[in-house]
A and B are shown apart, each in its own frame.
Chain A
Amino acid sequence: MRFELTPRTTVSPVARALAPVAAFITAFLIAGVVIWLMGRSPIAAFDVYVLQPLSDPWSLQELLVKATPLMLIAIGLSYCFRANLWNIGAEGQYVIGAVFGGWLALRTHGTDAGAWVLPAMLLLGIIGGALYGLIPAFLKIRFGVNEILTSLMLVYVAQLFLDYLSRGPWRDPKGFNFPQSVTFDPAATLPSIMEGSRIHWGAIFALVAIVITAIILGRTLFGYRLKLTGDAPRAARFAGFSSKATTMAVFAISGGLAGLAGIVEVSGQIGQLQPSISPGYGFTAITVAYLGRLNPVGILIAALVVALTFIGGESAQILLKLPLDLTQAFQGILLLCVLAADALVSYRIRFVTRGGGK
């Protein structure tokens, strides 16, 4: 038996909304089989991955903390993906944002630099990420170099650069040779939104980015231009929209937001620079962007859902001795399911039995 796809003439909004849910359930079932094959109980894993984090106030806060960088990066990537441009180097832009912002934190360390430090760090983070994101964009529009490969290669370069800084010139001289910088001063630390809460201002930034993006995409010419560039590049050219300007703009936006995510994570969460500052947020955000169907509200929900897999993964490692790699494998299979589910929205699936039909 095999199946065929036939294009649908109308797409129901219900199917559009349900596709990611169906994908999520499918991914869960596949993960369950994998866990069962590993000789563990899928039900116990479901409990640790999903039920326990959702029933514990501490984990719920942690959920928002982990969702923050995912939201910031994914919302930026949604600009690129809508225009059918492939920035897959958000992980590198995140790192460079952290390096740019972190530089100021280290420069002002031990001085009485005032309240301007933190906003300046955030701004530097955005600038750093945007500049780094503009490299593949520039190479693409000026020389026609494929942006997928260059943006990805730059991830490795950025990670090595951070590794060099935190082991070399920026290492804390009093840090017992640990590869990490000094701890940021309070003036360079992103505060919590409430006393005693783990949730920092980054969550607010992410929500603001989501609202602004919803307005830009839905209500402005730029939003329309992105959609047209992605869906009908020829029509976009005839309409006089410059694809070069669009490319530069979306890479700057996505790089800037990834850079902001990087400096927010370092100043609000980690508190210092070290060789590893991300469990792969930049790549996971790709899954988040698609799971949220490139829609701002969808991304908000998707980021929370995917953040759950990070938290569940950490507790599963402790409680069930399941390796963290399971989380990454799940995120990959989830993205595959989400993309396949898109087909269910645009096509009708018809099963054909061998010899019959055709």
Chain B
Amino acid sequence: MTTFEAILLTIVTASTPLLIAALGELVTERSGILNLGVEGMMAMGAACSFAAAVTFDSTLIGVAAGILAGAFMAALFALVVLGFAANQVGSGLALTIFGLGLSGLIGAPFVGSRRDPIAPIDIPGLSDIPVVGRLFFEQDLFVYASIALTILIAIYLKRTRSGLTLRSIGENHASAHGLGLPVLRVRFLAILFGGACAGLAGAYLALVYTRFWSPGMTAGRGWIALALVVFAAWRPAWVLVGAYIFGAATVLQLHAQAAQWGIPSQLLSAVPYLATIIALLLLSLRYGRAIGAPGSLGMPFVPDR
């Protein structure tokens, strides 16, 4: 395997958690709920999946624990923003603070443990194609799943009745409620889905990307996932593109650090965060204010009865 191929492979690994988390948040936001707790849910997913995987020596149980942890956190958020109609921005921030703290507690006994890499799934024949073969046809299951998820969510939102219901609730919750659509129930499920995805993204980070747990290992990826949703104008296909651009930026700055060109490593580490700001800025320059944002995004809803 050439260095070039290796870099491309790591780009895929770096992009996948961003993609999964951003897709989950996209569905949540399309239902009109802004959940800024992605970072916290992701951290919980990472800690719980790693703890479970080490304890039971099973990647599968680890992944399930990560998804459940993300969904549990999301349920807490749903209770506060749907049940109590609380401010979504503040509640999401609180969820992030809570998740970062709690994940530290859960992960503490597992600092220093390592997991073996999980075997990639090799599609015979196709993976022998030079360069692109290994890139496209010898990835781990999560990578294939994340691509499938992108397509499924795109179809769900665009082509199914349930997807239309979700979008109409996100566009205007009062009208949707007037039409008799179950606003709070759909939003609850959308929040849970977002949490499960963030948890899965965290599990991927801990079990595949780093294969160890350390506090704060999400390092702002949850926030970058949130930015990706805006960057993608709330469309799944563009989330995929954006996630891979950011994954590439992350990996390239790591290689630039290793190459020791005399650029301060901190400046290179800042690249993903600066790139996020620049991407949001360019998007606004090109299209004006937040295109594609669901109409009721972030507004609390209390049905009148």
Which residues of A does B touch, CB under 8 Å? 3-7, 34, 38, 86, 88, 139, 143-146, 148-150, 152-154, 156-157, 160-161, 163-164, 167-168, 283-284, 286-287, 290, 323-336, 339-340, 342-344, 347, 358
User: What residue of chain A has the Cβ atom nearest to residue B94's Cβ?
Assistant: A335
- When the two chains form their complex, are residues A161 and B280 in contact, meaning their CB atoms are under 8 A apart? no
Distance between Cα atoms of A4 and B301 in the complex (Å): 12
- When the two chains form their complex, are residues A340 and B86 in contact, meaning their CB atoms are under 8 A apart? yes
- When the two chains form their complex, are residues A157 and B273 in contact, meaning their CB atoms are under 8 A apart? yes
Chain A nearest CB from B54 CB (Å) reads 18
Q: Which of A144, A163, A168, A358 has the most CB of B within 10 A?
A: A144
Contacts A164-B266, A328-B100, A335-B97 given; indicate if A154 touches B36 (C-beta within 8 A): no
A-B contact pairs, 5 of them (CB 8 A): A143-B281, A143-B285, A328-B97, A343-B86, A347-B302
Q: Which of B76, B100, B277 contacts A150 (CB 8 A)?
A: B277
- When the two chains form their complex, are residues A332 and B97 in contact, meaning their CB atoms are under 8 A apart? yes
- When the two chains form their complex, are residues B101 and A145 in contact, meaning their CB atoms are under 8 A apart? no
Chain B nearest CB from A185 CB (Å) reads 27
Q: Which of B93, B108, B274 contacts A286 (CB 8 A)?
A: B93
Q: Which of B83, B223, B267, B281 contacts A152 (CB 8 A)?
A: B223
Q: Which of B80, B99, B305 contacts A339 (CB 8 A)?
A: B80
Chain A nearest CB from B235 CB (Å) reads 17
Distance between Cα atoms of A3 and B305 in the complex (Å): 13
Which residues of B does A touch, CB under 8 Å? 36, 40, 76, 79-80, 83-87, 89-91, 93-105, 108, 215, 220, 223, 226-227, 230, 264, 266-267, 269-270, 273-274, 276-277, 280-281, 284-285, 288-290, 302, 305
- When the two chains form their complex, are residues B220 and A156 in contact, meaning their CB atoms are under 8 A apart? yes
Q: Which 4 A-B pairs have the closest CB atoms?
A: A332-B98, A325-B104, A329-B101, A328-B101
- When the two chains form their complex, are residues A6 and B101 in contact, meaning their CB atoms are under 8 A apart? no
- When the two chains form their complex, are residues B93 and A335 in contact, meaning their CB atoms are under 8 A apart? yes
Q: Which of B99, B105, B230, B267 has the most CB of A within 10 A?
A: B105
Q: Which of A152, A161, A287 has the most CB of B within 10 A?
A: A152
- When the two chains form their complex, are residues A323 and B93 in contact, meaning their CB atoms are under 8 A apart? no
Distance between Cα atoms of A164 and B284 in the complex (Å): 31
Contacts A5-B85, A164-B267 given; indicate if A149 touches B230 (C-beta within 8 A): yes
- When the two chains form their complex, are residues B105 and A325 in contact, meaning their CB atoms are under 8 A apart? yes
- When the two chains form their complex, are residues A339 and B277 in contact, meaning their CB atoms are under 8 A apart? no
Chain B nearest CB from A338 CB (Å) reads 8
Chain B nearest CB from A346 CB (Å) reads 8
- When the two chains form their complex, are residues A340 and B230 in contact, meaning their CB atoms are under 8 A apart? no
- When the two chains form their complex, are residues B98 and A333 in contact, meaning their CB atoms are under 8 A apart? yes
Contacts of B289 in A (CB 8 A): 144
User: What residue of chain A has the Cβ atom nearest to residue B88's Cβ?
Assistant: A339
Contacts of A160 in B (CB 8 A): 266-267, 269-270
Q: Which of B40, B76, B101, B302 has the most CB of A within 10 A?
A: B101
- When the two chains form their complex, are residues B85 and A139 in contact, meaning their CB atoms are under 8 A apart? no
Distance between Cα atoms of A335 and B91 in the complex (Å): 7
- When the two chains form their complex, are residues B105 and A326 in contact, meaning their CB atoms are under 8 A apart? yes
Contacts A325-B104, A336-B80, A339-B91 given; indicate if A153 touches B302 (C-beta within 8 A): no
Chain B nearest CB from A64 CB (Å) reads 23
Contacts A153-B223, A164-B266, A332-B96 given; indicate if A145 touches B104 (C-beta within 8 A): no
Contacts A153-B223, A343-B84 given; indicate if A145 touches B284 (C-beta within 8 A): yes
- When the two chains form their complex, are residues A326 and B101 in contact, meaning their CB atoms are under 8 A apart? yes
Further pairs besides A150-B277, A328-B100: 17, Cβ < 8 Å: A86-B89, A139-B281, A145-B280, A149-B223, A149-B230, A149-B276, A150-B280, A152-B223, A154-B273, A323-B104, A325-B108, A328-B104, A329-B101, A334-B94, A335-B93, A340-B84, A342-B87
User: What residue of chain B has the Cβ atom nearest to residue A334's Cβ?
Assistant: B94
- When the two chains form their complex, are residues B101 and A327 in contact, meaning their CB atoms are under 8 A apart? yes
- When the two chains form their complex, are residues A329 and B80 in contact, meaning their CB atoms are under 8 A apart? no
- When the two chains form their complex, are residues B97 and A283 in contact, meaning their CB atoms are under 8 A apart? yes
Contacts of B215 in A (CB 8 A): 325
Distance between Cα atoms of A329 and B91 in the complex (Å): 14
Contacts of A164 in B (CB 8 A): 264, 266-267
- When the two chains form their complex, are residues B273 and A336 in contact, meaning their CB atoms are under 8 A apart? no
User: What residue of chain B has the Cβ atom nearest to residue A286's Cβ?
Assistant: B93
- When the two chains form their complex, are residues B284 and A144 in contact, meaning their CB atoms are under 8 A apart? yes
Contacts of A150 in B (CB 8 A): 277, 280
Q: Which of B40, B84, B269 contacts A332 (CB 8 A)?
A: B40
Contacts of A167 in B (CB 8 A): 266
